[in-house]
Structure 1
Amino acid sequence: MKKWLIGIIVILVLAVGVLAWLNGDRVAEKKKIEEDAAFVVKLQDDSVTYHLSDLKEMGPDTFSAVLKTNGKDPINYEYEGVELRKVLSAAGIDVAQYDTVILTAIDGYSVAYSAEEVLQEKNVYLVYAREGELLETGENGGRGPYQTIVASDQFSNRRCKFAVEVEVR
């Protein structure tokens, strides 16, 4: 019985080690993207990378949205960012040809938006500043360098903080 238990433990430890090793390159790549404040737009096998200066050239908007976190009262903040539809259009993507837009965060968390809501004017934003200050990274207690906000969402529960990538399907 003990040999069987030891065998299972060894297999589990090896599996965890192999998975950590396989995932190590992806984590390092995502970390580099976060440090460089890069945002990657993917469509099938193609990708385009934007930096903060690129996003600012796309014609940013300033808008107000409510942030409601667990156990706290809702707070209205002023954000600065670019409509996600503009970012996708700049990458040569016609969102109307697709069904879903998926945002992925540095930690792997994903949020899916319908193409229709992304195409609505002044609705889905890729945000880089709040109250005039650039969003901090997660290591510094922030929600950035980028975050998506659905302006029409009154409960702020469909945001993707630490956003680093968008894919259209």
Structure 2
Amino acid sequence: MNKKVLTAVAVLVLIVAVTAYLNAGESEERARSQEEATIFINHEGEQVAEVEFDNILDLEQQEFEETLRSSDSPDRDNMYTGVALKDLLADRDISLDEIEQVVTRAVDGYTVALSAEEVLEEDNVYIVYKVNDKPLPPKEEGGSGPYQIVIRNDDFGQRWNKFLMELDVN
């Protein structure tokens, strides 16, 4: 076999091995997030808080009806239960006055960037854990939970981040 081909294969194997090693810790964090219904909050690259389900229940609960509009399925009216994202951040002493955005990250890697203004809007951005009075099942069970971001002022649901596990506050 050509020496260049062997070298290229060796480099690719090394890259795959290093990537797998670096992602091992993140995979454990993802599994923990789903199993324990934990949300990790990061600020300037460092984890500053972990939010568990009991912490969510300690905050003011909101129940609201919202229509999920999607380009590939019929509109669905649902009743959601959750907490305002701004209230959760305030509870963790994270001031939105000093940040530009909140990036929501899901277990499957999907990310959505929200401006601080969007998060501060009244009755807009929520972390929900129930739909139609039932807990959101995790991804493994075909659900969109244990948590999902719902943005009420968006016309469509493409930024509704399912399987929420992490918030990056920048």
Q: TM-score range by the shorter chain?
A: over 0.9
Query: Among the aligned pairs, what percent are the same residue?
Result: 33
Shift of residue 86 of structure 1? 0.2
Shift of residue 139 of structure 1? 0.8
Q: Which moved more, 1:113-122 or 1:68-77?
A: 68-77
Query: 1:30 is matched with which residue?
Result: 30
Structure 2 letter corresponding to 1:68: R
Q: Aligned equivalents of 1:149 and 1:93: distance in 2?
A: 20
Query: 1:161 is matched with which residue?
Result: 162
Q: Aligned equivalents of 2:94 and 2:68: distance in 1?
A: 30
1:78 aligns with 2:79: yes
Q: Aligned equivalents of 2:36 and 2:106: distance in 1?
A: 15
Shift of residue 46 of structure 1? 4.8
Change (3 A) 1:151 1:132: same
Structure 1 letter corresponding to 2:81: E
SS in structure 1 opposite 2:74?
coil
SS in structure 1 opposite 2:11?
helix
- The answer as to whether partners of 2:40 and 2:47 remain within 8 angstroms in 1 is no
SS in structure 2 opposite 1:58?
coil
Shift of residue 70 of structure 1? 4.2
Query: 1:125 is matched with which residue?
Result: 126
The alignment's TM-score, normalised by the length of structure 1, stands at: 0.93
- The answer as to whether partners of 1:124 and 1:148 remain within 8 angstroms in 2 is yes
Give 5+ residue unaligned stretches, structure 1: none
Change (3 A) 1:60 1:115: same
Give 5+ residue unaligned stretches, structure 2: none
- The answer as to whether partners of 1:147 and 1:159 remain within 8 angstroms in 2 is yes
The alignment's TM-score, normalised by the length of structure 2, stands at: 0.93
- The answer as to whether partners of 1:96 and 1:119 remain within 8 angstroms in 2 is no
Shift of residue 43 of structure 1? 2.2
Query: 1:2 is matched with which residue?
Result: 2
SS in structure 1 opposite 2:149?
strand
Structure 2 letter corresponding to 1:69: S
Shift of residue 40 of structure 1? 1.7
Structure 1 residues 44-63: aligned runs within 5 Å: 44=44, 45-63=46-64
Moved >3 Å (runs of 4+): none
Query: 1:135 is matched with which residue?
Result: 136
Shift of residue 68 of structure 1? 2.7
- The answer as to whether partners of 1:67 and 1:76 remain within 8 angstroms in 2 is yes
How far does the alpha carbon of each residue in 1:129-151 deviate from its partner, in whole angstroms, 9 at most, with x for none? 11111111111101111110101
Shift of residue 157 of structure 1? 1.3
